[in-house]
Structure 1
Amino acid sequence: MNNKVRLKVKPAFVKKMKAGYPLVDAEAVINKQDVTSEGTLIELVDERGQFIAQGYYGEQNKGIGWVLSKNAHEGINKEFFKGKIKRALDERAAFFNDQDTTAFRVFNGEGDGIGGMTIDYFDGFYLINWYSEGIYRFKAAIIDSLMALMDVKGIYEKKRFAKKGAYMEDDDFVIGEHAPAPLIVKENGMNFAIYLNEGAMVGVFLDQRDVRKAIRENYADGKHVLNTFSYTGAFSIAAALGGAAKTTSVDLANRSRSKTAEHFMINGIDDGTQDIIVEDVFNYFKYAVRKQLTFDMVILDPPSFARSKKHTFSAGKDYPALLQEAIQITEKNGIIVASSNCSTFSMRKFKGFIEKAFKETGDTYNILREFGLPKDFKTNPEFKEGDYLKVVIIQKTT
């Protein structure tokens, strides 16, 4: 697709890259100044000039590109992209054949061999997320490959490579039919309203599918449920459909009220029987303590970083304190669904956060179940950061 630039990798990074680490770290390359154009193909070599891998240049977080192949003779062209996408689609065959689930991930970046992009499926429509301008340069080859391989109703895209990681607002429609707004999709028989052309987030986080199913089938029946950082209320829908006595959804964003009400409506639930509260979660915890409110289940799924007028939250630093707040308003034998999508710490460290929080409150607990990413979110075992989701279902025993 274009001429390659040879980049030399520092000795300290060679072993890791040879083992299959796919991100080209900015600190790993000696002569990164030799490549300045996003989308340039790069050849990675050691200081003796021995081939390690080839990939593309594209700035994303701490990286300056992604490895695409460890074969020096493999062409990085349209056929390369088509082959990667076909393999990913074939591996999701069971999802395409499941009539109860019509929304899932069909290509998960480096896990499927092309870092910097993901593709999600929404009932015949496809949504491509581009995380660097570098991978966006291959847009035509990727979209042509997808169109050739699948019966595509329409394709949308999200460009997430603006300055400071901000979403680039524009028309997200690419080709084919325009999707209805909302597009109603199914997940294990539950209905969700998807808006493919309304900003960066479309209405539901697909990586929590297995957790929602577990809440509905195993933990919600008869419970009074508090869903914090509730976004569009997807966990609340799962709980209500699982027989929860009542759900309370709390999120700071004004849109959360109408979006959550819509989700209740399309699942045949009167939203007037549920509580939907627009409020800072940290303020709500204080309110609940003051009013002596308690819940049988508390769901904690905060963003990795959040800022409101009075509070700043960073998962790696503040999660134990957040969990302490939840423990205070959870009934004895109640359930806490503790979740984090922060990639900077492991499940082991996350369990350490849980232990620390319960130690501080003086309560005891049992871990009932753990979740990571679902099967459609394929990961690269050499790239731990890509296996980001950590969910622990906890029972407060005293």
Structure 2
Amino acid sequence: MSWHPTGEVIVDKRGTSLILSGRFNIGLNMIKKLIGPVSRGDVVIVKDENGEFLGEGFYEEIGSVGVRMLAFKDRISLDLIDERMKNALDMRKRMKLGNYFRLVHSESDLLPGLIIDFYNDIASITSTSVGFDARIKDIANILIKLGARAVFARNDSRTRRQIDLPLWKGKIAGEGPSDTIIDEEGVLFHVDVLKGQKTGFFIDQRINRISLRRYISKGDNVLDLFSYTGGFGLHAAVEGANVTAVDESDYAEEEIVRNAELNKVKINFIKRNVKELKIGGEYDVVIADPPALIPSIDRKDAGKKAYLTLNTKIMNIVRKGGFIFTFSCSQFLSQEELKGIVIKAGDKSGRSIKLLDGVLGQSPDHPVDPKHPWTGYLKGFIVNCT
């Protein structure tokens, strides 16, 4: 697929204002006119109503998005994409992130609609852009030059389903298997970029998993809800805690057993939906890292109730003086809203609570672009209950 424009898009005053302010995603309803043979995924020249050149982008026509801008007052080229990916890699190298990291975080790395994660020498791509879908082999070739042994696509996300993009996954370039072992501050995890959720692992929680260890003492009883492959639970187990992990996935059960063996620790795994789990006893530390309970804006009220129910439930089982690590990865729930839910859960459960360490966020390889606030989706709190 060509990186040269096939036609022009004329945007209205609102679209022009957004582009001039540095916004990447321009709505379909802001497009006044198409000039020339323009198809979904094409590179297009973008102009205002007076014919003034604003830049270039992908013509998307998907969901509510009409154009994804890639170059402001500039032209798109494969060299430009290559340069942005190299700049993204240079920044991650300065972070000293070890053998796995997010290389590209969509708008935050000037590549809207594109996510790329590295696990050792395996790269995993997720696209929500028709333009990047059409050029995914070009992206894979850049990644091979940047050190990837093999590049895989994980284009089977819920977001793609919601915006009616085709769902698929598989190898795009390179050689070798889709799995590897990563090391997170001495804790080992098996990652398979084709079988696991998202791109294979939840890199965004790296700093929070490591922070958990400060709150764990040998012999603590720890409950890890929505455990997936044991990220939080394994860090607690390495510190000598008695860990119970809960997840409903067959893959999670298989992998948490494998990861426990890798780290020479024991974890009690319960395969069950957390909503159906009847929890008894008292725990020194409880971690609740659910999937997005507000998957779309129209389900926000129901999702807020679900977060309140969950947080009230876990406050009823943490011992006096114990700790809760509670999170939301929903872009539709703000930090202040989650904080309000936590406070309300404390009131409902009759617990006196304190919030520690401020607001927990995502790993620094998931930078937040303030002009595109959804790039900062993860938030959480450490709660001390008395």
Partners of 2:294 and 2:330 within 8 A in 1:
no
Work out the CA distance in 2 between the residues paired with 1:36 and 1:294.
62
- Cα shift readout 1:329-362 (whole Å, capped 9, x = no counterpart): 1111111111111011221222122122222333
1:1-398 matched pairs, under 5 angstroms = 1-31=3-33, 37-58=39-60, 61-71=63-73, 74-94=74-94, 101-148=98-145, 150-160=146-156, 162-164=160-162, 172-179=170-177, 182-198=179-195, 200-201=197-198, 203-219=200-216, 221-244=218-241, 246-270=242-266, 274-284=267-277, 287-288=278-279, 292-305=280-293, 315-369=303-357, 370-397=359-386
Matched letter for residue 50 of structure 2:
R
Shift in Å at residue 17 of structure 1? Answer: 3.3
The DSSP-based 3-state class of the residue aligned with 2:265 is: coil
CA distance 1:134–1:362, change in 2 (3 Å): same
- Cα shift readout 1:251-275 (whole Å, capped 9, x = no counterpart): 12233222111111111113xxx32
CA distance 1:382–1:32, change in 2 (3 Å): farther
- Percent of residue pairs bearing the same amino acid type: 24
Work out the CA distance in 2 between the residues paired with 1:230 and 1:187.
16
Normalised to the residue count of structure 1, the TM-score between the two structures is 0.85
The DSSP-based 3-state class of the residue aligned with 1:127 is: strand
Shift in Å at residue 379 of structure 1? Answer: 2.6
Work out the CA distance in 1 between the residues paired with 2:165 and 2:195.
11
Work out the CA distance in 2 between the residues paired with 1:118 and 1:193.
21
Work out the CA distance in 2 between the residues paired with 1:358 and 1:31.
54
Work out the CA distance in 2 between the residues paired with 1:390 and 1:61.
26
CA distance 1:350–1:17, change in 2 (3 Å): farther
Work out the CA distance in 2 between the residues paired with 1:34 and 1:339.
48
Work out the CA distance in 2 between the residues paired with 1:11 and 1:46.
7
Work out the CA distance in 1 between the residues paired with 2:27 and 2:169.
32
Partners of 1:316 and 1:344 within 8 A in 2:
no
Partners of 2:193 and 2:199 within 8 A in 1:
yes
Matched letter for residue 91 of structure 1:
M
Shift in Å at residue 60 of structure 1? Answer: 5.5
Shift in Å at residue 301 of structure 1? Answer: 1.0
Partners of 1:103 and 1:122 within 8 A in 2:
yes
Shift in Å at residue 297 of structure 1? Answer: 1.2
Number of corresponding residues: 377
Shift in Å at residue 29 of structure 1? Answer: 3.1
The DSSP-based 3-state class of the residue aligned with 1:92 is: helix
Matched letter for residue 26 of structure 1:
L
- Cα shift readout 1:124-181 (whole Å, capped 9, x = no counterpart): 1211112233211122332232333x233221122247543689665511222212x6
CA distance 1:112–1:44, change in 2 (3 Å): same
Shift in Å at residue 10 of structure 1? Answer: 3.8
Moved more, 12-21 or 373-382: 12-21
Q: List gaps (5 residues or longer) in structure 2.
A: none
Partners of 2:59 and 2:66 within 8 A in 1:
yes
Work out the CA distance in 1 between the residues paired with 2:7 and 2:33.
10
CA distance 1:157–1:364, change in 2 (3 Å): same
Work out the CA distance in 2 between the residues paired with 1:160 and 1:166.
11
Moved more, 62-71 or 209-218: 62-71
The DSSP-based 3-state class of the residue aligned with 2:112 is: coil
Partners of 2:7 and 2:35 within 8 A in 1:
no
Shift in Å at residue 59 of structure 1? Answer: 5.1
CA distance 1:92–1:4, change in 2 (3 Å): same
Work out the CA distance in 2 between the residues paired with 1:220 and 1:137.
51
